[in-house]
Amino acid sequence: MPKAISVRSRPLGIFDSGIGGLTVADAIRERMPGEQLVYFGDTAHLPYGDKSEESIKKWSVCIADFLLAQGCKAIVIACNSISAVAYSAVKKRVGPGIPVINVIDPVVGHVCSEKNFKHVGVIGTKATIRANVYAAKLNRKRPDMTVSSLATPLLAPMIEEGFFNNSISRTIINDYLSRTKLKKIDSLILGCTHYPLIRPEIDAFYKGRIEVFDAAGIVADAVKAVLDSENLSYSGKRKPQHHFYVSEYTTAFEKSTRIFFKGKVRLQQKNLWR
């Protein structure tokens, strides 16, 4: 029993190609306030969306090693590009005994358990859309479902620069959502952890005509379910000490964290590739 208590007290590791994954971290913090978080954002290499699969896998495995060295009891890949390309590589590196949760499987399961959607749209980075993982997983569960995927590469950098809920963001969002590929969808998956921040603008575009799914809350619920099922959830009382690392620090990155995570974030630079 003492060993199990010790394991439950260990931190939860979360990583992303940048700081957008803090939307997932924030949702996890809300649902599991006692859990200590160790977050790593690979800001030196962002965006991952237009990087090669080989590079994404190499960097992701290295970050997983870092989180394991911090004693993390489970790892959350809070990035669609990494989940699409490197989930298997990370899971293999981590090995048995430590859960690895990606952001795609919980969303796919959630969408397929909802209404009987016939035509699902997916928007995300070039890497996520190129990997075609959402379509493959959705069609595996629902062969009758049509999936239309569209790369929306301007959205993540736009959000990180603070351009949302204004005329610039509305113009870009409306242009993407008006593309022919998304014309007849009855639901839309926001396949990037940045996109919850523009959810209100996307909802405004559709005016309730379709169902919109973003990953943050869905993934946080899935993480809680995994920790509970594996007897890894922290159940005591404490004020957790979260740690936030980035591979390249700038004051702009630290200021941008306020967009994604409620509460003060102090970024520490940790270059894993020196």
Catalytic residue positions, numbered: 79, 192
C-alpha distances in angstroms, 123 versus 30, 153, 156, 182, 193?
Answer: 26, 9, 11, 9, 11
In angstroms, the CA 67 to CA 60 distance is 11
What is the Cβ-side half-sphere exposure of residue 250, based on CA atoms within 13 angstroms?
A: 9
Helix ranges (H only) for the chain are 2-9, 22-31, 53-69, 80-94, 104-113, 126-131, 133-141, 155-160, 167-177, 199-206, 215-229, 251-260
Whole-angstrom distance, CA of residue 15 vs CA of residue 21: 7
CA distance 215 to 16: 13
**Two tokens at 126?**
């070039």
The CA distance from 245 to 151, in Å, is 28
First to last CA, the chain: 40
Closest C-alpha among 234, 268, 261 to residue 30? 261
- Which pair of tokens denotes residue 258? 């306020």
> What's the one-letter identity of residue 44?
A
Cα→Cα distances 157→49, 63, 99, 209, Å:
11, 22, 30, 27
**Token output for 227:** 């920790």
